Structure 1
C-alpha cells in the first residue's frame, strides 16, 4: 500500500521540482547576474568549487568576492541554494545595500530580518523593545560607565603581564572576547560573569554553558540543513533553554529589586545597567515582557561581546605589523593622556574631569578602529521580503530587480573593499583615509540627520562603510563598542607590543629584524584571514606573544620606525 502511494506521488514530486527549477532558472531569477547553475544542485556545486580554491576554513565572504570578480563585479549576484536553503542574493554595491537597509513606504523599519537569523537569536517585536533599551545605549550614559570598562580591563592587563613575563604564546582572541563578555555583562545586566578567569572551570555558570553552545555553531551550519545533524541540534536546544532560564532568573531578580524603593534612589545608588534602565516604570513583569527582555538581552550579550572582541584582536594585530600606525596611536595617547602609560595613570585621566572629551578626541585611534572594521567586518546582515511583496531595488545602471522571497545578504566585506570607492588601496589597511571624514562613527539613530549636516565634509559615501549596518535596524551598541575599543587601546597600546605567532608572523631578515614593504607595513610570511564561527573570527584565534616595549623610535620617517619589541641594529 505504502509502495503504491509512493509510486503515485513520485510523478507529482518530480513535476513540482521540475516546475520550480524551470521557474527559477528561466523566469523569476533569469536576469540576475549569476554563475552557471547545476541542474540538480543549483549553485551549491559552484560554491563548493570556489571554496576548494581558497585557504582552509576561510569565511564565505572572500569566496563570494572571488565569485563577484568572476562575474565582473556586478552590484548583486543570485545563488540558487536548492535543496539546502532559500535562494539568496549577495549585495555587492553600497547603493543597493542602502535601499535594503533604509526605511521605505513598504518597510517603515527597513527590510525585515531573514528567518535564517532565528537559529541562534530570536527577536520579537524589536522596534518597541528597542525603544525601552535606547536610554541605556545613549553616548552620554555610556561615558558614565568608563570606570566599569576600566575595572574589567585591569584583569585583561594582568593576563598580558603574565604572558609578557613567561614569553608564552596565547590565543589573544579568547582573552579579548572574555574581556568584552565581562564588560557587556556588567553594563547591560549589572552581572559579573567571571569570564576572565584563567581556568575555564572557574568561569561563571553562564559562560561555561554559553561556551559549550557556541562551539556547536560554525563551519557546516550554513551549508547543510539542520535535520542532517539531529544530535547536534538537540544539544543546541538544551543548552539554549538553559541560557534562557539563567537570563530569566536574572531579569526576575532585577525586576524584584526595582520594586524595592530603596533601590530607586538617585545618585550613586541608582542602577546604571541597561537592563535596570529598561525595566524602570514596569511594575508588572508579564510573561511577554520577560521573554522579550530575555531575547533582547541575549542579543546584546552574544552580538555585543563577540564583535568587539574580534575588533580588538584585529586591532592589536594591525598595530603589530604597521609601525607607523602604532606610532600614530602612541603619539596621540601621549598628547591626550600624558607620557605616563601606567594603567593607573590612564585610569586617573579617563575617570577624571573631561574624560568624555578625551575619549572623543582620540581621532587617530578612532580612525584605526574604523579601518579595522572596514577591512575585517565581523558580521553582516541578512534580510528577506516575503513573496508577493513587490520589493524592488535599482542598480546604478538603471536595472530593476525584484528581491521577493530571497535571502538578501549585504556583504560588508565586498562593499567595504569596493575599488570604485576606496581606490587602489581598497584591500590595504590605511587608517589615514578616515582623517577629516566628517561622517565618523555614527551614534545609533542619528545617521540621517548627521549625514545631512556633514555631507560637505565627507570623503567616502556613508553607505560604503557598514560595519554596524545602517538604517533603523543598525546596531544599537555601536557607540558602546567603539568607546570600549578606544578605552582598551588607550590602556594597552603603549604598554605592550604584540608579536604574531604562526599564521601572519613577521618575515624577519638575516639579522632577525622585520623589514618594511612599500605600504609601510612589516612583511609577513603568510596573510591572516577570517573563518566562520557564527561571526567572522581570525582562523587561529590570533595566536600571539606579548612584550613590554624596550625601544620606541618617534621619528616621522616610516623607514626609521622600529617595532619597539625588536632590538635596534
Structure 2
C-alpha cells in the first residue's frame, strides 16, 4: 500500500489531544479538518494508555466507511461496547448474523405504511404538549426540555400502549443517568470494570436493572396474554395492546414478529430492541425538533414562510401522514436543523484490515469515525456553512451534492431503521407548534457538547405568543 500516514492533530506533550477531545470534541474535530484536511489522526492519552482515532470528514470518505466498504468498518469500538453493556445488543450494536436476523424480523415493523399508522399518536402527544404550554410561566419554555418530554411520551406510548405512564416515569428517571455513564466510559482512555462497587457503577447498575425489569414485566404480560382488543372491538392474535387510536403498540408487534420459518425474537432480544428504540427514538428526534424550533425562533422570515405553508395546507385541522409531502418547506427547515445540529455528531467504527481512505493509510484495528458535525459544515459542499438556509434542501440543491454530504441517519447497510419514523414525528410536531404559536428566541448562542447524542449544555429558551 502506497498511501501515506494521515496528518496528526496538534496536541499537548505526553497526552496529545486528550484534553481537546474531553473538553470540546466538536470544535476539535472541526478545527482539525480546517487545519489538516479530510483524514486526521487524533492521538490521545499518556504512553501506555494512548488511543489513536482517525477522523474521516469528506463525503467520499464517509461513503467508503459507511457504505461501499462497510464490511471493513465494524461497530467493534469501545463506544459501542459500552452502549451494548448499558442497553443490550439491539439493532444499534449487534453485528454479523445477529444483526441480519434482527433486521429481518424488525424491518417489517418500520415500513413507511406501518409507521404512518402512528401519526395519530404522534399528533395526540404534540397537541397535548402545545396545550400544556399555555400555562408556562411568562409563556417561556425550554425547547430541549419540552421536546425531550414530547418525544419520550410519544415513543413510549407507541412502544408500550396502555402501559405508557409507568414506562415514561421509569425512563425519565433512569435514562439520563445511563446516558451520562455510557458517554463517560465510552470516551475515557481508561475505565474501571463495571462490576467494581464504585458509586457510579452501582447507580448505573440500579438504573439499568429498573429499565430491564420494566421491559421484562411488560413483555411477559404480552406473552401470557397475546390477544388484545383494539378500540374498534377487533380481537386479533398477537396485536399487542392497542392505544386510543386502535393501533397496536410496537412492543406487542415485536413480541409477535416472526419470519417465514417461524423464527422469533426471544424475550431478552425484544427487551434489547425496546431499550434501543427508547434511546434512539426520543433523544435524537427531540434534538431535531428542539433545534428546528430554535432556528425558526431566531429567523422570523423563515418562521413566517413555514407558518404560511402550514396554514395553507392544514388550516385549523391537525396534520396526518398524508400531509407530509405537501409540507416541503417545513421539511426543509427540519433538514437544515439536522445539518447544523445533527443528533449523532460522530459515528464510530473499527477498521478490520489495512485500507486507504482519501489517499491516507488506515491500519487494521484503527478506531475510525465519520462526523456529520464536520461534514455538514464542509466548505466544499456548503456555502457559508454556519448560515441557516432551508433552501439548501430544494430538490435541485440536494441533487447537486454528493450523497454523503448530509447523513444525519448514518448510511449504508447500517442506516437508521427509524428514519421515516423520526422525520414523520418531527414534521407533524413542527406543524402543530406553528399552528398554535409564534416563537421568539431568548437564548441565541447555545453551548454544545458531544455525548451519545448532541447535548446542549445550557437552556434553549423561547417565548411563545399564542396565535
Task: Give the TM-score category using the shorter length.
Answer: 0.7 to 0.9
Task: Give, in whole Å, the separation in 2 of the partners of 1:477 and 1:206.
Answer: 19
Cα distance change, pair 130–228 in 1 and its aligned pair in 2 (3 A): closer
Moved more, 183-192 or 467-476: 183-192
SS at match of 2:381: helix
2:110 to 130, 137, 143: 137
Deviation at 1:225, TM superposition (A): 2.7
Structure 1 stretches of at least 4 aligned residues deviating more than 3 Å after TM superposition: 36-39, 45-48, 82-86, 103-107, 110-113, 191-196, 211-221, 259-263, 265-271, 285-288
- In structure 1, the partner of 2:232 is none
- In structure 2, the partner of 1:276 is 252
Task: Give, in whole Å, the separation in 2 of the partners of 1:308 and 1:106.
Answer: 28
- In structure 2, the partner of 1:532 is 450
- In structure 1, the partner of 2:5 is 31
Q: Is the 8 A contact 2:350 2:365 kept in 1?
A: yes
Report the TM-score, using the length of structure 1 for normalisation. Answer: 0.70
- In structure 2, the partner of 1:431 is 390
Deviation at 1:188, TM superposition (A): 2.9
Greater Rg by CA: 1
Stretches of structure 1 lacking an aligned partner (at least 5 in a row): 1-27, 52-58, 197-202, 440-457, 505-526, 550-569
- In structure 1, the partner of 2:217 is 249
Any residues of structure 2 matched to 1:1-20 within 5 Å, and which? none
Are residues 1:43 and 2:11 paired? no
How many residues are matched? 441
SS at match of 2:285: helix
Q: Is the 8 A contact 2:381 2:405 kept in 1?
A: yes
- In structure 1, the partner of 2:276 is 299
Deviation string, structure 1 residues 512-532 (Cα, Å, up to 9, x no partner): xxxxxxxxxxxxxxx224223
Cα distance change, pair 547–322 in 1 and its aligned pair in 2 (3 A): same
- In structure 2, the partner of 1:405 is 365
- In structure 2, the partner of 1:88 is 53
Q: Is the 8 A contact 1:173 1:310 kept in 2?
A: yes
Task: Give, in whole Å, the separation in 2 of the partners of 1:295 and 1:362.
Answer: 35
Cα distance change, pair 183–403 in 1 and its aligned pair in 2 (3 A): farther
Cα distance change, pair 321–60 in 1 and its aligned pair in 2 (3 A): same
Deviation string, structure 1 residues 261-293 (Cα, Å, up to 9, x no partner): 94418899686233322332559x999722222
Stretches of structure 2 lacking an aligned partner (at least 5 in a row): 230-234
Cα distance change, pair 37–215 in 1 and its aligned pair in 2 (3 A): closer
1:161 to 134, 146, 157: 134
Any residues of structure 2 matched to 1:55-70 within 5 Å, and which? 59-70=24-35
Deviation string, structure 1 residues 314-351 (Cα, Å, up to 9, x no partner): 1111111111211111111122112x3xxxx32xxx3x
- In structure 2, the partner of 1:544 is 462
Cα distance change, pair 129–490 in 1 and its aligned pair in 2 (3 A): same
- In structure 1, the partner of 2:123 is 150
Are residues 1:317 and 2:294 paired? yes
Report the TM-score, using the length of structure 2 for normalisation. Answer: 0.84
Task: Give, in whole Å, the separation in 2 of the partners of 1:494 and 1:271.
Answer: 26
Cα distance change, pair 530–281 in 1 and its aligned pair in 2 (3 A): closer
Task: Give, in whole Å, the separation in 1 of the partners of 2:388 and 2:342.
Answer: 13
Q: Is the 8 A contact 2:78 2:186 kept in 1?
A: no
SS at match of 2:423: helix
Task: Give, in whole Å, the separation in 1 of the partners of 2:144 and 2:34.
Answer: 31
Q: Is the 8 A contact 1:61 1:411 kept in 2?
A: no
Deviation at 1:30, TM superposition (A): 7.6
- In structure 2, the partner of 1:466 is 407
1:498 to 430, 434, 439: 439
Are residues 1:180 and 2:151 paired? yes
SS at match of 1:296: helix
Task: Give, in whole Å, the separation in 2 of the partners of 1:168 and 1:105.
Answer: 48
Higher relative contact order, chain-length normalized (CA < 8 Å, sep 6+):
2
SS at match of 1:419: coil
Deviation string, structure 1 residues 297-326 (Cα, Å, up to 9, x no partner): 111111110011111111111111111211
Cα distance change, pair 139–282 in 1 and its aligned pair in 2 (3 A): closer
SS at match of 2:435: coil
SS at match of 1:89: strand
Cα distance change, pair 500–377 in 1 and its aligned pair in 2 (3 A): same
Deviation at 1:477, TM superposition (A): 0.8
Cα distance change, pair 149–88 in 1 and its aligned pair in 2 (3 A): same
Q: Is the 8 A contact 1:219 1:532 kept in 2?
A: no
1:204 to 169, 180, 188: 169
Any residues of structure 2 matched to 1:475-490 within 5 Å, and which? 475-490=416-431
